[in-house]
A and B are shown apart, each in its own frame.
Chain A
Amino acid sequence: MTRTNPLTCSTALSRAASVPIVLALILVSSLSWASAIEPYDFANDVEEARFQALSKELRCTVCQNQSLADSDAPLAQDLRRELYEMIRAGRADMEIRQFMVDRYGEFVLYRPPIASHTLLLWAGPFIMLVIGIGIGLFTIKRRRQAL
């Protein structure tokens, strides 16, 4: 059995075997150790930054609470490869997001789009805030009247 189960969820952290290595990694760079990313060569810093940003905002469907950047699952590796190739091919961020949504659904987006079916999600906190302020004002007014 030479293959790892593609559905295995492990983080870069759990893979790192020994404590000294982990500590050394923390010292060297607090950024690179957070992601299980293969060394990809980019043409420029912009491409690399886009790769980093997109792999952080796309969810790994295998390890559902990890982003593509965090996950060490083989499927996440495949998707990072796909992401890398699309960036190198000059595809726009929107196109890449759409590519993932077409295959895995909107669930892969950590930042859901603003649309009619997500309106409550986006507006919800503000609606609650308005209700809260309303109740607050109402209570204050009534207490003032009671005095």
Chain B
Amino acid sequence: MIRMLVPLGIFLALVIMLVAGLDTAEERKLVASPLIDKPVPEFTLPGLFDSNAERSSSDFLGQPWILNVWGSWCWACRVEHPFVERLGREAGIPLVGFNWKDERTDALEWLDRYGDAWTAHVVDFEGRSAIDLGVYGAPETFLIDHRGIIRHKHIGPIDQTVFDDLMRRIMALRSETEAS
């Protein structure tokens, strides 16, 4: 009798494992960046308002900074925008908008409509620097420390929970900078 229950037991164990797997299905889609704790890949990119106003990743050395990947085509960027605006106001460090695979006119129109939350802008219409950064979705938010090391990356829109988490990390990076 007990021996006949063994296959049933195995079956139930399998069902439990598969159901438990459903919970983490969304998480598994997120690819952990191999760039965490590595130097931010060097880039020099044109500005958004003025394409001659180039900015380099090395311009921001000496203080922590935020790199926020967005595009006018990206609906989730509209969703996170209020929180990006709060980051710009409350984080107290440079918040660089990285406009990815967009058109200048579309991006400028978007800023007119939804507001400019960033303290600096770079554009990567061709997506070459974005590949170096391992960007595969937007929005993406990188936290970079004062030595130019990528310390954290968030993929997907920022909501209240993510915002609180980012602010905690930013404060830690700021005090790290002061201590050094």
Chain A positions near chain B (C-beta within 8 angstroms): 1-7, 61-62, 64, 74-75, 78-79, 82, 101-107
CA distance A106 to B137 in the complex (A): 17
| Pair B103/A105 contact, Cβ less than 8 Å | no
Binding site for A on B (CB under 8 A): 29, 31-35, 71-74, 100-103, 106, 126-128, 130-134, 136-138
- Return the contact of A105 from the options B33, B126, B130 (Cβ within 8 A): B33
Q: Say yes or no: B73 contacts A1, CB within 8 Å.
A: yes
6 nearest A-B pairs in the assembled complex, by CB-CB distance: A61-B136, A103-B134, A78-B127, A105-B34, A5-B73, A6-B101
Q: Are B102's CB and A3's CB within 8 A?
A: yes
Measured CA separation A64–B26 after assembly (Å): 12
Extra inter-chain contacts (18) besides given A75-B136, A78-B130, A105-B134, CB under 8 Å: A2-B103, A3-B72, A3-B106, A5-B73, A5-B74, A6-B100, A6-B101, A7-B138, A61-B31, A61-B137, A62-B136, A74-B101, A78-B101, A82-B128, A103-B133, A104-B134, A105-B32, A106-B34
State whether B138 touches A6 (Cβ < 8 A): yes
- List, in ascending order, chain B residues with CB within 8 A of A103's CB: 34-35, 131-134
In the complex, 22 of the A-B residue pairs with CB atoms within 8 angstroms, ordered by the A residue number, are: A3-B71, A3-B72, A3-B73, A3-B106, A5-B73, A5-B74, A6-B101, A6-B127, A6-B138, A7-B74, A7-B137, A62-B136, A64-B29, A74-B101, A78-B101, A78-B130, A101-B34, A103-B131, A103-B133, A105-B32, A105-B33, A106-B34
Residue of B nearest to A6 (CB): B101
**Residues in chain A near residue B131, CB distance under 8 A:** 78-79, 82, 103
